[in-house]
Amino acid sequence: VWDASSGECLQTLKGHSDGVNSVAFSHDSARVASASDDRTVKVWDASSGECLQTLNVGKTLDRIAFDVSGSYLNTDIGTIDISVLIIMALLLAQMVCGLPITQSI
């Protein structure tokens, strides 16, 4: 992830085992999705660089984009619903950190 003004590298998202073909920011800039030659799509937290979810799509994708709601990824092979995956990742993070689950997501 680079600073658009200075060109400075701010963060490197590591996790794919092959080249990355497409990257997209969610409309609220909170998440980044990446599609790789390793046939996976990864959803990242844009602030921390933490990988929130890895999806094995079984095919190399060249195009990926978040829909306006941030609940779906539009790709060459169709639309992927990530809303449930993100909620599950948030719940798991709360459980691992020992935080009480007191709010609805």
Dist. CA 98–CA 11, nearest whole Å? 28
Q: Domain containing 55 — which CATH number?
A: 2.40.10
Q: What is the pLDDT of residues 56-68, one digit of tens each?
A: 989 999 999 999 9
Q: Which value, to the nearest 10 degrees, does the dihedral of the CA atoms of residues 27, 16, 54, 56 take?
A: 110
Question: How many domains does the structure of the chain reveal?
Answer: 1
Q: Give the neighbor-by-neighbor strand order of the sheet with 78-81.
A: 64-66, 72-75, 78-81
Q: Does 80 map to a domain?
A: yes
What are the φ/ψ torsions at residue 88 (nearest 5 degrees)? -65, -40
Residues of the chain by 3-state class (helix, strand, coil), percent to 5 = 15, 35, 50
Give residue 83's pLDDT: 81
Q: Does 38 map to a domain?
A: yes
- Residue span of the structural domain in which 49 resides: 20-97
What percentage of the chain has pLDDT greater than the value 90? 53
Q: In the predicted model, is pLDDT for residue 92 greater than 70?
A: no
Q: Does 104 map to a domain?
A: no
